Chains A and B, each alone.
Chain A
Amino acid sequence: MNNANLENYAKEIAAKFSNKIAKVSQNNDELHLNVKLDDMPKICDYIYKNLNARLATIICSDERKNAAGFVIRYVFEKGDVFIFVIVSTGQGFSFPSIVSHIPAATLYEREIKDMFGLIPVGNPDVRPLVLHEHWPDGIFPLRKEFELETKAKRQDKEYPFLRVQGEGICEIPVGPVHAGIIEPGHFRFSVLGENIVNLETRLFYTHKGIEKLAESMRLDEALLLSERISGDESVANSSAFCQAIEKIARVEIPRRAKKIRTVFGELERIYNHVGTLAGMSTDTSFPFGAARLNILKERLMRLNESLSGSRILFGVNRIGGVRCDITDENKKLILETLSEISDDFGKVTLLLKSKSSFMDRLRGTGAIPKKIAYDLGTVGIVARCVGIDIDARRDHPYGSYYLHNHKTPQELIQHQIEMEKRTGDALARFEIRVDEVQDSFEIIRESLDLENDSLLTSVPEHLEPFRSSLGWAESHRGQTLHWVMIGENNSIFRYKIRTASFCNWPVVGQAVLNDIVPDFPLVNKSLDLSYSGNDL
């Protein structure tokens, strides 16, 4: 593959660190740089600051069997290129932290400490993250010698929450079991009167060991697992997994399958955005709007069912293509249903926008400063609501999205002006969701002129061991990034999942700082984060 950008970056980094880079290689859109552990912080810092790349993920894998020790891959995203800085810990059990330069790295480093037992030297926060306080010491689930079925004994320990002290400060603990039909997480508010001084979020209650479990699975079983990372992101996550495998196998899926993936990806986005908008309407105490939107969501879920056999779109994808076809009859059904729904949706959103009590409630609530959103490495709607212009559908076109990136110069300028105007509050997130739903209707309509080739392409029986690749998709929450390394006999050696929620959760604690406690549900709903997708 010829990627001019990739070669330029390779040259630029090589010019600066020529004697420090042991090996430069490339794998599709990935630029791999093998460096020494001690040189890594400087090189990462250079890529982050001088190349202006975002930290996309940090992947650790236990490759001690191949005499490489633990290998850590720092993945940066710059335009359409992913830059991998690859280091090995050798015999040691520690690695230098990069948090002081790249704040977004903190959660990844804590995760690596819990799952692999490697100490991030220099990270000020090394409290347990994934494995809660009751887990005994010395358990590192993602090390290869750890047995999947191990049942650890509980121990008594307290989690050290950050304590805010001072006159009049009190703490409000909330969760993990919440009032409402939502997933579990613990929130510790420190408040002065009603004002939130600090919010600490404790997650990983739904940690199910997905990454470890995948290592014991066949590829087609892991596909089902990837659909269930977060039930409402099933198409996005399974598309990302399939793409990773397809890249490893060096196959390209048929054009019809690409379009079908796009259609289902957008259907998923629509029903979830509509659901979130309904939730925001509920949280502003405007049940009428919520009722109208929930009716639309139910109709969309029924459409999902008649197309795919599942109300939440399980079982759409397959490695090498898709499982469900869109027949001419279904095409008609989609177009009819969508035209009805887009009509109704337009009416409801107009109604919401004309209600001053609703709009006032959203304006200025849960505002995120742009600098913080950038430092924390946010993606998706949370990034776009402050004007950080990233969207995996445009930056790294997958499926048939390359067909929808046709913007005239005027439209591009208009888009940039829109981005500059965004304020990062709940209202901005509301407006972006409404716009994206309308865009999705358009993308689906455009994608329905399906080609007449097949649904599946044949994938080689045996994949080359220890080949790896990234796969990605833009779910309704933002970019989801999956990295798969194949082991011997078509097994999975390592499956690293980073959903949008993992990047966006830290922003919750920042978004509520100018608000009062009763604003929290609305702020949380407007961000729309998945607990399961974060906890894995």
Chain B
Amino acid sequence: MIKASRKGIVGNGIETIKNLANPLSSKNYRGSVIFAVEPTNDQRKTLEDICPTKALFSIKENNAMGLDNGKCITCGYCSEAASKTIEISNKPAIPVNVKSQMIGYSGPQTLSSEKSYEQIGNALKEKIQKMFGRSLAIRQVDAGSCNGCEIEIAALNNPIYDIERFGIHFVASPRHADVLLVTGPASRNMEIALLRTYEATPGPKIVIAVGACACSGGIFGDTYATTGGIDKVVPVDVYIPGCPPRPEILLQGLLLAVNKMKLE
């Protein structure tokens, strides 16, 4: 039986390295929005109307257009309405420390540096080793997400991404956690539970808002049943945009979080 099992494992090949050596996504991936050319006045109006989450907004003073990646759910409606002006790249939007950094403007673009999952993970591993000596403990909290973000977070644990090899693991209680990974637009019914989870987490603690909903309310917005973002309930240290964010972007967000962490 052992022989058969070994054959099973070997039969799969070494998935981790093979698949992650080349950086990021397939060419069809609907990632962040890029302004190919400066939108005209008329186009700005159309684009503002078409964007379902109001992620695109025009700036009157300098006739430019802004894009809030924290609101963008990468539906691609804008590029369908104005295909020459707006392109959808296959590079996902990157995590940031301050909410305003998620806003991009039309004009020259700075693209995210392309690092593979392995490179990000190894940088993170080194940092965690130095800082904690051992490992980083994460508690995931769903504050009303559609479970899309959960699928991607759970994917971090699969044998391909295998986040534990970088010294990161998911724990069962907030009392064991260094990091809270929060998804969803913070529904009113989860508000108190989220707050209590935050209070139960020992300091120094880091809160990461995962996905467009957690960053800004996303498509669910700010209504009677939601609060319109995690930062309305608890202080947020890192924002990870995307709907849902890819596993490597989640890892990049964790790296950003650890970089921010200082022993108090």
Q: Measuring CB to CB, which residues of chain A are less than 8 angstroms from any residue of chain B?
A: 132, 134-135, 139, 141, 146-152, 176-177, 179-184, 204-210, 212-213, 217-218, 220-221, 224-225, 228-232, 234, 275, 288, 291-292, 294-295, 297-298, 301-302, 305-312, 314-315, 344, 347, 351, 530-532, 535
Contact = CB atoms under 8 A, between A and B. Distances in A.
Nearest to A278: B158
Contact of B146 (A152, A184, A228): A228
Main secondary structure of the interface of A (DSSP, over half): loop
B185 interface: yes
B146 A230 contact: yes
A177 B189 contact: no
B202 to A, nearest CB: 16
B172 interface: yes
Interface in B140-162: 140-155, 157-161
A209 B220 contact: yes
Nearest 3 Cβ contacts at the A-B interface: A231-B148, A179-B172, A209-B225
B157 to A, nearest CB: 8
Contacts of B157: 181, 294
Nearest to B190: A205
Interface in B71-102: 73-77
A182 B146 contact: no
B160 A295 contact: yes
B224 A152 contact: yes
A347 B197 contact: no
A532 B147 contact: yes
B116 interface: no
Interface of B: 5, 8-9, 11-12, 15, 25-30, 52, 73-77, 140-155, 157-161, 170, 172-174, 184-185, 187-190, 192-193, 197, 219-226, 243-244, 246
Contact of B150 (A150, A182, A204, A291): A182
Nearest to A203: B189
Contacts of B27: 306
A209 B226 contact: yes
A309 B28 contact: yes
A305 B145 contact: no
A231 B26 contact: no
Given A295-B160, A314-B243, 13 more contacts: A147-B224, A184-B142, A184-B143, A184-B190, A206-B187, A207-B187, A208-B220, A231-B149, A232-B147, A294-B157, A295-B158, A312-B244, A315-B30
A123 to B, nearest CB: 22
B160 A298 contact: yes
A314 B31 CA distance: 12
From B29, B150, B189, name the one whose CB has the most chain A CB atoms within 10 angstroms.
Answer: B189
